[in-house]
Structure 1
Amino acid sequence: MALTTLDGKRIWFDMSIIPMHQASRQQSILILCSDITQRKQNALKLEQLTQDNFEERMLQKKRQASQIVECQEEERKRIAKDIHDGIGQMLTALRFNIESIDLANKEKSVEKISYLKDLTADLIKGVRTATFNLTPPELSDHGIFPALQKMTVELSKLTGKTILFENKSDTNIRLDSLAETNIYRVTQEAVNNAIKYAQANYILVTINFKEAILSIVIDDDGKGFNTNILNDVPKNNSEGGMGLFFMKEHISYINGRLFIHSEPGKGTRVTINYKSEQKTILNGTE
């Protein structure tokens, strides 16, 4: 019960009414009152904090969802740019060279046909690279372990870099599709950054699973960088900065953790940790 005193102060108290049984017909009662103002104020503060925390979490989820959409749009733009600048230009060159072949000039024609063969090979490679950057079927069919192994093999073929995969777990696991997709994208981004920006020649992707913690480590022998810049990376300062922003947002979205350690001239290590109630598959059988 709440009352307002004469000086305008609001107080709460707990009242108990206890009947006192007597032999006479008159009934007596005992009224006990306890001042619970402090307890009530604390409860109201806790309720307000809980409400504020809930609203803050909801706003954070909305911001994360919005940022994930922005990342996806940026990713689509990058793929479109790669197709336009790479495949598109090669197709234009292919058409131009085919149209310029003069069969009357046999020597020049042989040279152009040889060039067209190389150009076609590069074009096929570009198409494979662009399509590979989309979600691989191994991810949905077999899970994160086979998908990452396939990624390292294909990227090694496409780039000529030494990209290795090491599985330190004897257990294959399946996570929910959202977690698998985001973990795959973050790992893919880390490997692509090592190839494109760190100019690494050797990249090792190590995966392990212990005590419900999935850990993925990407090591490279690239040029490295000063990690102090990570605190000031705007999401749109460059493709590299956008990539780091992309990685942070995607791993944060699934409540995972991302660690980046690097030194100039000493390569980079990216570590992804994720804990989840997973569906475990032992030795290929459920």
Structure 2
Amino acid sequence: LEHERREAGRAVLRAQEQERSQIAQDLHDEVNQALTGILLRLEATMSDAPAHLVVELAETKQLATQAMEELLHLARELRPTALDDHGLVPALASQIATFGERTGIRSRFRQPIGDLPILSDEEQLVIYRVTQESLSNVVQHAGASSVDVELNFVGRTVLRVRDDGLGFPTANGTGRNRLGVSGMRERALLVGGNLHIFSTPGEGTTIELTMGAT
């Protein structure tokens, strides 16, 4: 029964990722192509435009360029090809470094302690997605100036994402829904893991994912 539950959970994860991948492909192929067309039209218009319109057209072109960059970033977030191309640890390091560059929040990745165990594709994806969602929470809700991400493989696989933000009371579940905890916890359970939150008002928050033997 447990094996069947795990297999069903992995099938759900695969279906979710396939849907994300399709959305990312559509964004890249359709919307990105449309934005490229807009940029080309703007450039052509600028070459013949009166001087008083050139500045306004240049500002519009800059906005379109920014929209294209955001679109490509979103597509990469939806479909983390870095996992396939480079492996879990380099993909996490890249994700965390990019987060710090984009947000200005001091971000540190503590290199894993212990030998990298054999993790299934689904388990690696859960680690990546929980990190992604946790970082998103930091920038949206925590009011933090720094975040530390730690991954170790001593005895079991443990991921911790700590921020120095506002924190919140966890005794009555306050704040959990807005942090998207249910989605992260569901992902963890689907691969036999557990997700815990430790937080105190004024002292920041730690999200901890554990998988494997204790």
Length-normalised TM-score, structure 1 = 0.57
Which letter does structure 1 place at the counterpart of 2:162? Answer: D
Q: Please tell me whether residue 117 in structure 1 is matched to residue 81 in structure 2.
A: no
Counterpart of 1:266 (choices 192, 199, 203) is 203
Which shifted more, 110-119 or 141-150?
A: 110-119
Would the aligned equivalents of 1:220 and 1:267 in 2 still touch at CA under 8 Å?
Answer: yes
Paired residue secondary structure (2:153): strand
Q: Which residues in structure 2 correspond to 1:151-170 (within 5 Å)?
A: 151-169=95-113
1:219 paired to 2:162: yes
Q: Quote the residue 1:194 is aligned against.
A: 138
The answer to whether the Cα contact below 8 Å between 2:188 and 2:195 also exists between their aligned partners in 1 is: yes
Q: Does 1:145 align with 2:145?
A: no
Aligned residue identity for 2:212: K
95-104 or 244-253, which moves further after superposition?
95-104
Deviations 1:244-280 (A, max 9, x none): 111111111111121101123322101112226xxxx
Shift, 1:243, TM fit: 2.6
| Residue type at the aligned position of 2:107 | I
Q: Is the 8 A contact 2:21 2:78 kept in 1?
A: no
Considering Cα pairs closer than 8 Å and 6+ residues apart, tell me whether 1 or 2 has the greater RCO.
Answer: 2
- Are 1:248 and 2:192 counterparts? no
**1:64 to partner: Cα distance:** 4.9
CA contact (8 A) 1:129 1:158 kept: no
Q: Mind listing any 5+ residue stretches in structure 2 that lack a counterpart?
A: none
* TM-aligned CA deviation for residue 225 of structure 1: 2.3
More strand by share: 1
- Quote how far apart the aligned CAs of 1:143 are: 3.1
Identity %: 23
Q: Structure 1 residues 77, 116: closer, same or farther in 2, change over 3 A?
A: same
1:11 is matched with which residue?
A: none
| 2:75 aligned partner | 130
Letter of the structure 2 residue corresponding to residue 225 of structure 1: F
Matched, 1:210 2:161: no
Structure 1 unmatched runs, 5+: 1-55, 234-239, 277-286
Q: Give RMSD over aligned pairs.
A: 4.1
Number of residues of Structure 1 aligned to a counterpart in Structure 2: 210
Q: Report how far residue 218 of structure 1 moved.
A: 0.2
Distance in 2 of aligned mates of 1:72 and 1:99: 39
Is the Cα contact below 8 Å between 2:110 and 2:148 reproduced in 1? Answer: yes
Query: How far does the alpha carbon of each residue in 1:190-217 deviate from its partner, in whole angstroms, 9 at most, with x for none?
Result: 1122122324332111112213x12111
Q: Which residue of 1 aligns with 2:52?
A: 107
Whether the 8 Å CA contact 1:261–1:270 is kept in 2: the answer is yes
Q: Which has the higher helix share?
A: 2
